[in-house]
Amino acid sequence: MSHSIVGLFCLVLTLIGYFASKALYKRQRKVWLAPIIIAPMAILITVVSLKIDVSDYFSYTHYLAAMLAPATIAFALPIYRERELIKQYPLTLSLGVICGLLLGLGSSWLLVKLTNLPPELSHSLMVRSVSTPFAIEATGSFGGIPELTAMLVLLTGVIGMLICEPLFKVANIKSAIAKGVALGASAHGAGAAKASEIGRQEGVIASLTMIFTGIAMVLTAPLFAALLH
Partner 1 sequence: MATFAKINRKNIKHCLLVALQVTGFCGFAWLCQTLAIYINSPIPGSVIGLTILLLLLSLKLIPERSVSLASKWLIGELLLFFIPPVVAVIKYQALLEHFGAVLIGAMLAASTCVLVGTAFTVDKLFKFEHKMHLKRQAAKTVQHVDQTMAVAEKVLTLPKTSPTDLAPKATEERQAA
Please check whether residue 214 is in contact with residue 74, taking contact to mean a CB–CB distance below 8 angstroms.
no
Assess contact for 21 and 42: CB atoms under 8 A: yes
Indicate whether 44 belongs to the interface with partner 1 (CB under 8 A): yes
Which residues in the 80-119 window bind partner 1 by CB under 8 A?
A: 80-81, 83, 88-89, 91-92, 95-96, 99-100, 103-104, 107-108, 110-111, 114-115, 117-118
Range in contact with partner 1 (rule: CB under 8 A) among 1-9, 121-129, 194-202: 121-129
Residue nearer to partner 1 on the CB measure, 2 or 109:
109
Q: What is the 3-state secondary structure (H, E, C) of 98-160?
A: HHHHHHHHHHHHHHHHHCCCCHHHHHHHCCCCCCHHHHHHHHHHHCCCHHHHHHHHHHHHHHH
**Subset of 164-183 contacting partner 1 (CB under 8 A):** 164, 167-168, 171, 173-175, 177-179, 181-183
**143 makes contact with partner 1 (CB under 8 A):** no
Residues in binding contact with partner 1, number by CB under 8 A: 100
Task: Name the amino acid, one letter, at 102.
Answer: L
Please pick, from the candidates 27, 70, 84, 229, the single residue that binds partner 1 as defined by CB under 8 A.
Answer: 70
Q: Is 89 helix (H, G, I), strand (E, B) or coil?
A: coil
Taking CB under 8 A as the binding criterion, the range among 1-9, 139-147, 194-202 that sits at the site for partner 1 is 139-147
Distance CA 220, CA 197 (A): 31
